[in-house]
Amino acid sequence: MALGLGLSGPAAAIDGGSAAGRDALAQATVAIGTITKPEEALRLTRCSGVLIAPDLVLTAAHCVNGDPLGALVVFFRGSEPARPIYGARVAARYSPDPGEMLPNETSGVSLSDLSLDLAVLRLTEPVRDRRPVPLAADPGRVPKSLRIAGAGLSGRVVGRLRTATLTPVAASSTGLTIARANGARVCFGDSGGPVVAQDRRGTYIWGVASAVISRAAPCGGYVVIAPAAQVFSATGMR
């Protein structure tokens, strides 16, 4: 089986699963577009992410590799993209060496690297009509069930937001979780998508989609989840 990172061509949103509704996960999930300039050529990448503070979005570090010229953040109304579109810049990146984590390339990428595949974007202005989702307060206990949201792509535009349930099957000492998608497949364009759980206090972020495990790109039935606890440890955010 192959480990795939990031975005590959016209990857759709989560394959299967359910169209997003209007719950806390759907309201806070975003599509992210960054523009970089590698080797004199402009390249547009697209990923997913989640609002964790009025002006902060959590995503995967490999979604913002290099030195992005800018980023655009799109929220959803149900499963459809909604205006306004927000500008953003990279505020923090937790990957030890972003150059090692290129989309769709796995050579030299270890599980410890994937555990740090996290980045935070700062919006140009706070979002006032969306509620941020808090980070996991007890990162040591792997939930029995998780849920993922992702926008992926539809051709060359933002795809529709979809969700799927996940069942954790393994966890590493670094907090990395591997989970099986139930009745769905996670696609490269869903990188950075929030993976959440629920407790008596409500919905919280367990991590973000870092990679898919697949026999054939661009979608797979298993997803590798970078733990949000890494951001919690560094910032103290909840």
Q: Does 7 have pLDDT greater than 50?
A: no
Q: Which is nearest to 147 in space by CA: 84, 195, 183?
A: 195
Type of residue at 32: I
Where exactly are the structural domains of the chain?
A: 2-235
CATH value of 2-235 in 2.40.10.120, 3.40.50.1580, 2.60.120.560, 3.60.15.10: 2.40.10.120
Q: How do residues 36-58 score in pLDDT, each as one tens digit?
A: 776 656 566 778 999 999 999 99
Binned at pLDDT 50, 70 and 90, residue 107 comes out as very low
The larger pLDDT score, comparing residue 133 to residue 35, is at: 133
Type of residue at 224: V
Q: Does 9 have pLDDT greater than 60?
A: no
The larger pLDDT score, comparing residue 110 to residue 103, is at: 110
Binned at pLDDT 50, 70 and 90, residue 160 comes out as confident
Beta-strand pair 184-187/194-199:
unpaired
Residue 14, pLDDT score: 87
Q: Does 122 have pLDDT greater than 50?
A: yes
3-class SS of residue 21: coil
Q: Does 67 have pLDDT greater than 80?
A: no
Q: Which is nearest to 121 in space by CA: 158, 66, 187, 70?
A: 70
**Residues 208, 57: Cα–Cα separation, whole Å:** 11
The larger pLDDT score, comparing residue 206 to residue 69, is at: 206
Averaged pLDDT of the chain:
82
**Residues 135, 7: Cα–Cα separation, whole Å:** 25
Binned at pLDDT 50, 70 and 90, residue 4 comes out as very low
The share of the chain scoring above pLDDT 90, in percent, equals 50
User: How much is the average pLDDT of 120-128?
Assistant: 95
